[in-house]
Structure 1
């Protein structure tokens, strides 16, 4: 009958497993009440996750039972009761509820089979939402009883039915013991028994995570408050425990301080080895983390504490004191007694996460160093010019870029010595006086380098003008990320007509654009954009050509990364005080002289003496590196958990393991079935295949061991929201969260992450653990909720010790209302330097958009990447113009294997891609709506042409035979036979080639 779930089966002695008895007396009845867990014995989708198993004595025609269920949910009277005959499994219709409260249910029913067992289901619900975004709705009470039967029921009859057990559908759904509430009478007795102080402390073992904030568990009533805690830990283990705080009156600025732990032999564990994760730690970007914990009156707060037991700690009993402090309240000492065993914990105890050992990871600084990541090269600085892979930045005397150059060939497959300028003049600000209408003149003191590392160079400049000081702090990183903090301080009251920043793009580096309400494509002649953070996740854009470009973003000191992927409107951008200026600010883009001027303005304002504004911005210089076309041809993803022999037979080389399967069941928490995953990966490696897994941080499975410790952190990790969703979330998390993706097969219900927080430290450590212990070859990212700081750290741990560290990113098209009309490539460009491939993606229209949309938003080529298609299988003819196919085994009618075969037969390895966007492409068509890309090698060329013409057309090839190095007299043009793509034939060199609407050809010239 009992199923020991993964949350319980590893616990040590002392854990009360499902099925163990727990006794107490109620006013209604004296009995031993058992909390048990079934093995999915009933249909939870219609009956709910909880039932009382009751036994009727058979001495009357009406059964009455009082169930002391001690429910944590609100308003039980508003939820339906369903009673079932245990023998026949038939629903009993004659039911009368006398009272339904959180403490107990008093129910009468007709015992249709007489003496025996009956099931009373008390949280039945139904799903009114989408399959993967359920909206669990609890059924309202219904009147099904016959009126004659109802009238015959006497409210004064005595209970004649006993509760045998309270049963949950499985152990994961059990309320026992930490969600079994104390009664009002018990709470009153507790307060009378412990009248002193404004709060009570209930130290609690790690195996019983505190889950409720509005109620005390009945377990605490039996234990009582205490000022001592004892536990047992191994050497080298991170030992976690809880201090449960019940605030009788409001508590502010709650802190825990620790003293040394000392053993009788004089050995100590210093206080620095102890911490409370709720109040102190390290942020995801390696800054000190300090949080203020306030506890409203009548609420419960879990404070999770940890002891980092040294590996060389001498075995013994260590004693010390923790002190709980709260503003305006007496300090309360808690005696700690920790027995350190002679056993050395394996890997710091991290291999046993059910012990909450991995909470240490929340404060990790792993891979935070600025070491250069391949293929990038160390930064080099000479005079005022900084060089990095394929790019150079000259710094002007005011600290802003004087010029930015790139050195990528138009083909994007190599570097050149010929620079391409991005700007026509230095980047600069204009501060216009309201009094004179003229720009203020700035004095510059020059700039000074503040730090110089291989991966990052930082500098500072001070600029002054009448009444204002501008402090510029900037940093360039090895991947081309250029970050500016621009602090403007008013030295006196200054009235300004306008403040603008100018990015004067060279026209040759401003052919394309995406962002600021523009889908990717050719840059419009004019842009006039205004801030609208409530509805639009827009604070910048990318402008550039294939081999030179800049993404710019405008921010201030209060910037917080918003939610994305359907959730933007629930946590949008904050309007920058500086750039936004109460919605006076905006951006115009258009031709001015020889430049394409990006004019970021903020409108009129008066700065009062001492006032500070931050006009922060960053520039991301593209491309990031040359395209690795050989990786594209050789690395073929199979995106499904499947038999490895079958996968290898397809020609795929890398298996992507999504979540929602036997070896990776829980979304973004691939740690529970890791042994199965390792066995699969080991087998794959033996067969010459690589394996990557789905793992990101946008949302987190409710099966995570750390769910409730993370909930104790308030909104640091989990976003605030309206709750709802799958029944488990409503019954155990209760409220104040956003329900996310749900997998019905595994009943895996995720909760939305709040954004940038310490869970990213855990994520990096988790990736490292997976590489070292499971052998993953990389990760598949399905939209991303972290920034480039975390991405760099992840890439470092994935590629450590020569692991391949392959990362591909999928995005659904974010250009819609729910996502705030942001282009996916703009949203994720800061991550592109560390990706190996794009998969853009769901809701991308491969039929109705232009070639320039493909190039900028889908292909990745202007950034040094290549991609694949997804929605409806993509358009395989158009895809090949960018070297893209569909991904196995996504869509049957767009199977990429026929094209893979062409790649292999032609010999794509070592070929040079020259796209239609390259003016010197030796093969072009006579119709601009039918572009051609070639893949060239000695003596042969594979030509891909695809049509964006509105109807069937015929085109001729314009071929520069000399540039190809092929003798036209001996050349042949052959269309190989490709299943579901084209019928094989030979074309004459001067004939017109028919091209069907939305289709194309693959031609071999040799």
Structure 2
């Protein structure tokens, strides 16, 4: 047994040293072959990989004498509930499959059958969970094979195999079980998923008086099952002692399994004899994603197991020797039980608390982190200023009235509102005349200013809480309280916008377009917000109050905000007059009793959120090549400055958990830093791979972090998660035997805190330069934390955001609240660029009205129209049959020096270059006596146009310049033009024309 324990420790260390093995994934299996025994039956990992269609599990048996029929009994102790519905495949050592199998009894605990050993005496393998499926990028389609066909009756009769089967009377050859094997270590059930039999559990349950049993477990053996006991616990017995070894400065994790043997356990509580400030049970509460403490109720149904995960903070100055603490488990309806935890503290100091070694589970403390939750201001923003009732931030300001509502709104010196914001309560008596009682500031800091106002009428009282943050985001929570029984006809939020500002609109069911004069909308689809404005002024308004307020993606479609929706009595409308456009969000009617309250929430973001940085757009060009993130050295000549490392490749193999191939990623980052490239990685939250080191601790939290669902999917999930999970992204990874089988996360949870700490760790330890965000689901508070953490660890980190228009009527409306913290957009999947109007390009694709710029994507974009907005595709983005290569255009950029030019688009009244056709638009890039003109046509047919150039504004003498179209492969042929010459433009295409001094 001593040798067995030593070998088991070696095995565990091997399992968790994944970063090193991930560098050479083909050596992952077969490197250490460890025999493990349960009741003298070895559990092993195969010496070499077998065909995966045979399943992940097999038994090796020996047939030592020749016979026509062999009896096999396999005490496999399985946890799947439909064991008898899966096929048995028996092969010889060469892989030849045996035809005749007679099932005697196949169940979870054991399998008994007879087969014909066609290859004679020797070694045979029994595969008992075979499946067939198709692995694709994004999904797995397949299932376990159905039971094998019945054996030939002549063989059955000849060998006198009768029903019911009687072994003592049979003359069958008896097979000898050699071992159970898993295909890889990751597939193994040993030891924590090798089930105790029902008789063993009954004997254990009935052997004492306790109604529940405690099983302390080391972190090396995460508790995996809730409906079964591991056979290991039958051997080890319940215990009131836990012993471990820890290092100084380690965050030490361990478990206690609680088995409700005889009755349901209600509302578990935990207490500690000492070190109360050093120890925590993660299952009973912690710190939520907003930094607030919370508690969880934990009940354990009769016959079920609840794993309780604990963390002990071992300070660096902890004395060596024994560290003792008693942990008392107290169900509400049962007597308490105590576990004495004894840690032997070693002299060594762990510099990073253990975080670089995932098997230690030290990073569980990240679940309760508050990193990034503060009022700090991040670049390029400045501290808020307050003067009287005016609050100012970068480029924007608001003035409040006595009700705490917005009286005036200014963006880049442009007044946005034509009249003050109105929050209107209309009853049967008409519009309630609200008398302001008080308005005062409750908080003034560099990053946040808050205020409180109260008002009342004869029928209602209002409490108005408002907050403005450094990025121009304004949040309102308004409580409407009935002072008597009343009938409310409507509650309305009215935003009267100056007509010259209300040029563009998107949201509430509309894609990006010119703002309609009138519009009526009822709640439907993933819509809860709108944006209205021009390039240099506007605002985004979101109706809030739903259980989820992040981007409304295909995976996250909660009910609309309850008070505004009001059982679909609420809605949204646009109305117009000579000087203004009024947007109105309304609730419809309510019947309120005296003292009954309604809560209305909404948020406003004043746009643009920052100054447009064209230099960054034209300088920091992106290399984005999916599963092949490393450019060729010759690609550097094109001027690429940033490479995005997607998931599902050897550098970043598993989705949303970039902590596996850490050494590989470090080497990748180091290499490309040395060659002048920044490296950003894919790392989000929406799905979570099955490769997470702490996955069983997360499963022990119920559905707090991992979303619930009907299960199914890739066999590994069915074999180990078993039930209550929601299948999401699946990816086979070249060179990696272990596939990436992800499940959905549950939305806002403590995983947000882990994610933030993980980001901080990656920036500091791997030296990444930021993140590539792909249709993420968290809200702006997470973006703030991310930006704060990255800027603190490594100023200059980058965030770019990708989205798909298929999830809504446009990702720009879904992600507007992200924009203050984003560097670049990549909105374009599913965009049909040739059919999109200029206003749709402006609002949904370009990012320009928000102070951002972006790249094109779907089908290679439209390079001519893209240049009007300063956009190209990313290199080497490829669409079959379409020229997507931006490098030829980039050469023109560099030759002209576009990074230092002033971009003046058709939307700018001061743009010095226009055309005489409103369907052919021009953007001028102006620099030191030179101009690069981007022309693009939205005309339906070939069009002749002339340039209308304000030479005086350009400061250029037209008699001393030449106009030419440089040769750009796949874009245009070279051509020279006279100053007044007609330019022919093909539909959906255009030109890049250079004005430069004559030679």
Q: Same fold (TM over 0.5)?
A: yes
Distance in 2 (CA, whole Å) between partners of 1:159 and 1:428 is 89
CA distance in 2, matches of 1:932, 1:630: 20
Contact 1:577-1:613 within 8 A present in 2 as well: no
Residues 1:738 and 2:711 aligned together: no
Residues 479 and 348 of structure 1: is their aligned pair in 2 closer, same or farther, counting only changes over 3 Å? Answer: same
Matched with 2:536 is: 547
Which among 323, 326, 330 is matched to residue 321 of structure 1? 326
Find the aligned partners of 1:627 and 1:868 in 2 and give their Cα distance: 15
1:860 maps to which residue? 847
Q: Could you say if the C-alpha distance between residues 151 and 402 of structure 1 is closer, same or farther in structure 2, counting changes exceeding 3 Å? A: farther
Matches within 5 A, 1:435-474: 436=429, 438-474=430-466
Unaligned runs of 5+ in 2: 1-7, 19-29
Are 2:220 and 1:207 equivalent residues in the alignment? yes
- Judged with a 3 Å threshold, the aligned counterparts in structure 2 of structure 1 residues 9 and 278 are, in CA distance, closer, same or farther, namely closer
Alignment map for 1:266-345 (pairs within 5 Å): 270-345=275-350
Residue of structure 1 equivalent to 2:198: 184
For residues 493-514 of structure 1, give each alpha carbon's deviation from its aligned partner in whole angstroms, at most 9, with x where no partner exists: 2221221111112212221111
Aligned partner (choices 890, 909, 922) of residue 900 of structure 1:
890
Shift of 1:765: 0.8
Aligned to 2:878: 891
Equivalent residue in structure 1 for 2:513, among 521, 530, 546 = 521
Q: Whole-Å Cα distance in 1 between the matches of residues 860 and 492 of structure 2? A: 45
Q: Out of 573, 576, 584, which is 1:599 matched to?
A: 584
Equivalent residue of 2:223, what SS?
A: coil
Q: Deviations over 1:680-718 (max 9, x none)?
A: 211212222211111111111111101111111111111
Q: What's the secondary structure of 2:329's corresponding residue?
A: strand
Residues 766, 115 of structure 1: CA spacing in aligned structure 2 closer, same or farther, 3 A cutoff? same
Within 5 Å, give how 1:802-813 maps onto structure 2: 802-813=794-805
- Quote the offset at 1:57 in angstroms: 2.1
**Structure 2 length as normaliser, TM-score?**
0.93
Change (3 A) 1:499 1:129: farther
Deviations 1:785-806 (A, max 9, x none): 2111111111122222543211
Cα deviations by residue, 1:79-123 (Å, 9 ceiling, x for unpaired)? 111222213x12222122211100011121111111111111111
Aligned CA distance change for structure 1 residues 422 and 4 (closer, same or farther; 3 Å):
farther
Per-residue Cα deviation, 1:534-587 (whole angstroms, up to 9, x for no partner): xx221121111111111111122x53246854323xxx2234331121221111
Residues 1:9 and 1:615: Cα distance change in structure 2 (over 3 Å): closer
Q: Is 1:840–1:867's contact at 8 Å kept on the other side of the alignment? A: yes
Shift of the 801–321 alpha-carbon distance from structure 1 to 2, 3 Å rule, reads closer
Correspondences of 1:554-953 after superposition (within 5 Å): 554-556=543-545, 558-561=546-549, 565-568=553-556, 572-592=557-577, 594-640=579-625, 641-643=629-631, 645-745=633-733, 746=736, 747-814=739-806, 819=807, 821-891=808-878, 893-953=883-943
Between the aligned partners of 1:565 and 1:498, the Cα distance in structure 2 is 30
Aligned length: 958
Partner SS state of residue 293, structure 1 = coil
What's the CA shift string for 1:243-288, capped at 9, x where partnerless? 111123222221222231xxxxxxxxx2111001111211111111
1:421 paired residue number: 415
Over 3 Å counting, the alpha-carbon distance change for 1:803 and 1:58 in structure 2 is farther
User: In the alignment, which of 184, 187, 205 is matched to residue 170 of structure 1?
Assistant: 184
The verdict on how the C-alpha distance between 1:43 and 1:713 changes in structure 2, with shifts beyond 3 A counting, is same
8 Å contact kept, 2:102–2:150: no
Residues 176-196 of structure 1: CA distance to partner in whole angstroms, max 9, x if unpaired? 111111111111111111332
Once the two structures are overlaid, the 10-residue window that deviates more, 737-746 or 977-986, is 737-746
- CA-to-aligned-CA distance 1:649-680 (integer Å, 9 cap, x gap): 44211111111122211111111211111112
| TM-superposed deviation, 1:385 | 0.5
2:64 alignment counterpart: 57
Change (3 A) 1:127 1:611: farther
The 5 A counterparts of 1:38-437 are 38=46, 41-44=49-52, 46-87=53-94, 89-127=95-133, 131-143=137-149, 145-153=151-159, 154=161, 155-156=165-166, 157=170, 160-197=174-211, 199-248=212-261, 249-260=263-274, 270-407=275-412, 419-434=413-428, 436=429
Distance 2:542 2:562 in 1: 15
- SS of match in other structure, 2:104: strand
Q: Which runs of 5+ in 1 are unaligned?
A: 26-31, 261-269, 408-418
Q: Distance in 2 between matches of 1:626 and 1:6?
A: 52
Query: Partner of 2:5 in structure 1?
Result: none
Task: Tell me the CA shift for residue 647 of structure 1.
Answer: 3.9
TM-score (norm 1): 0.93
User: How much has 1:610 moved relative to structure 2?
Assistant: 2.8
**Matched residue SS, 1:272:** coil
Indicate if the aligned counterparts of 2:300 and 2:306 stay in contact, CA closer than 8 A.
yes
Shift of 1:126: 2.2
CA displacement at 1:598 relative to structure 2: 1.3
Larger mean CA deviation between 237-246 and 291-300 belongs to 291-300
RMSD: 2.0
What SS is found at the alignment partner of 1:457?
A: strand
How far apart in 2 are the matches of 1:932 and 1:851? 11
**Aligned-pair CA distance for 1:975:** 0.2
Query: Structure 1 residues 838, 962: closer, same or farther in 2, change over 3 A?
Result: same
User: 2:552 & 2:568 partners in 1: Cα distance?
Assistant: 22
